Chains A and B, each alone.
Chain A
Amino acid sequence: MFGLFSNQATNNEATAAIKEMEETRERFFAFIEKLEQKMKEFAEASLPELTELNNTDTDEYKRAYHRMKAAVLGQLDSIQKKALEVKEEKITNFRFTTNDHALSTAYYDFRNDCYDRYNQLDELKNHYRGQVEATYSENYEAKYQQILDEYEAIRNKFACVQCGSPIVIEKIYFTTTYITCPACQTRNTFEPSSKAKTLEQLGRSLAEQRTAHLLKEHDAIPAKTQELYLERHKIQLSLIQEKNNRVIREKTSRIEELGKLHEELERKRPALYQTYLRAMFDEWNKINPALTEEHEKFYNRLLSDYRKYKL
């Protein structure tokens, strides 16, 4: 009898809180939808602009393009940040006063719905981030060819500054070096051109570009294993209510089969990475043989990091 009014007050509070949750959810969904719309319009409009700027930017390092790309990505981030702030303020920190179990359950449902909606925006941003990154293209083969052509053109062009005897540039130097005159033994300082100086950085990018298909093969494995896991999980769930022994046997055998495929892929993954890495470094060594020893140290470190941290 004495608790009657307080119970009623609690019920009223709970009803009000649930109503407020409903309203907040609706407002939050509408807000995220607007942000998604804004993000889509902005990203779709910026993609052709970025591609055009990438093609027309004459700067050696395409700096105007990179500035524009950074600005576009910054805009996408700021849209997501707005959603994150509202999510923190209105959803995560949503206040309700009672300790009612039903109300807590309602709150977790409300929170999960809003988080899922926010995650959709996050996925959309990641999708556009990938597309924005993909607008960058650089013809490394052409740049490397320019270095080779330049080397052919200059290799017999120089003479010793001291005695005038011809000096042959025996290989592509990418750093300033001393070349000895075969006639007077004077050490001439040879300074490579700006193009030749980029050989080491260019070499890695080019080698990565040439072996990208191998990395792609390796990177595709997690998606494949996830697919297998989901299929296996679905069959496992369907077994809970299954009574027919024949069906149970068939499904169990399928689960085992999927498990083996999963294991096989996991086992293959490090070997695929090593194949890619070896091919990439072989290419890099071919492009810039002067640093083979250093490249090999780098190769070993990348491989041991991969094994150590299970990347």
Chain B
Amino acid sequence: MSAENKPLSLLERMKQKAKEQKNYGGEFTGEEAKVNVRACPNCGAGRAKQDGLTHCAYCGFEFLSVQLTDGINLKKEDNSQNT
């Protein structure tokens, strides 16, 4: 039997399978850091710090339906007052 036709050992088959098997959730794609702004889809106004994050200061559009509590970066003060 030639070297090419030689059947693979158990270990070689395991290695081949481990390498060939598709990754659950797909391949890893690294993403760069980015900055974005969410403007109000109703009136186009931006969200300023003093107006809070949950509602638009101008037309009252609801950005977030939850009541914010103190977290790592968000604080209770980030709830909009004009709800």
- Chain A interfacial positions (CB closer than 8 Å to B): 42, 45-46, 49, 53, 59-61, 63-65, 67-68, 71-72, 75, 150, 154, 158-162, 167, 169, 173, 175, 177-180, 184-196, 290-291
| A-B CB contact pairs (8 Å), 15 listed | A60-B28, A67-B18, A68-B14, A71-B17, A169-B33, A177-B74, A184-B48, A186-B47, A186-B48, A188-B35, A189-B37, A193-B33, A194-B28, A195-B30, A290-B73
CA separation between A291 and B31, bound complex, in Å? 23
CA separation between A53 and B15, bound complex, in Å? 9
Main DSSP-derived SS at the A contact region: mixed
**Beta-carbon contact of A186 and B46 below 8 Å:** yes
**Beta-carbon contact of A177 and B28 below 8 Å:** no
**Beta-carbon contact of A193 and B32 below 8 Å:** yes
**Beta-carbon contact of A187 and B73 below 8 Å:** no
Shortest distance between the CB of B29 and any CB in chain A (Å): 8
- B6 in the interface, Cβ–Cβ < 8 Å? no
CA separation between A305 and B32, bound complex, in Å? 40
Partner among B11, B24, B46, B78 whose Cβ is within 8 Å of the Cβ of A46: B11
A-B CB pair tally, cutoff 8 Å: 104
**Beta-carbon contact of A161 and B37 below 8 Å:** yes
**Beta-carbon contact of B73 and A64 below 8 Å:** no
CB-CB under 8 A from B15, the residues of chain A are 49, 53, 68
Shortest distance between the CB of A303 and any CB in chain B (Å): 23
Most A CB atoms within 10 A — which of B10, B17, B37, B38?
B37
B1-35 CB contacts (< 8 Å) to partner A: 10-11, 14-15, 17-19, 21, 23-24, 27-35
Determine the residue in chain A with the shortest Cβ distance to B39.
A162
CB-CB under 8 A from A161, the residues of chain B are 35-37
Determine the residue in chain A with the shortest Cβ distance to B13.
A71
Determine the residue in chain B with the shortest Cβ distance to A67.
B18
